[in-house]
Amino acid sequence: MIGEKQAEQDVNSLKGFDLVAKIKQKLEAECPGMVSCTDFLAIAAKDAVVLVGGPYWDVPVGRLDSKKTSLDLANRDITTAQQGLVTLISKFWEKGLDATDMVALCWIPHNQICPLKDICPLDGDDDNISAMNSHTSSTFDNAYFQMLINGEGLLYSDQATRRPTPSTSTGLTLTRSSSSSPTPC
């Protein structure tokens, strides 16, 4: 089946699809047609955030995403690390989300580029793995936003959020909040 995994944004970007397929197969055996990959990935992401001290939230489940995969929709809708701020905001807006939502949802604590040059050299293979934030990799905090303000975002799309726009003020608010845990929503 050709779907999201083959989208240009996903190819060589994510690991663990084999594990996702195994989990999905077991879920299908127990609850045919009821639980999507998106459902259990959303639940796993929420549980990971909670485990590192982040907030808890309810995850609506029940095939709310789609009952089929589409390579064309994935290529159209999934953001890339190379996209600029206008494109990123536009894609989120099309889904009913604003710039504040975009900044909060793109919160992934990234590491600085310099240490990654040693871990992932240009002449290396794709099997190198690194924590995205070596400073506070097991803590839910606002370090990502602090790194953005310092110009240390790893991806082009990260640094795009530093330009003077409403999303920048959202990032500044999250960075300077008295709490170290971002809670924009």
Residues 79, 156: Cα–Cα separation, whole Å: 12
Domains in the chain, CATH or no CATH each: 1-78 (no CATH), 80-185 (1.10.420.10)
Q: Give binding residues for Ca(2+) as ranges.
A: 4, 136, 141
Distances (CA, A) of 58 to 4, 27, 36, 107, 169: 25, 20, 16, 19, 27
Does the pLDDT at position 69 exceed 60?
Answer: yes
pLDDT band at residue 91 under the 50/70/90 scheme? confident
Write down the pTM of the prediction. 0.48
pLDDT attached to residue 111: 38
Nearest to 84 by CA among 155, 151, 157: 157
Q: Give binding residues as ranges.
A: 4, 136, 141
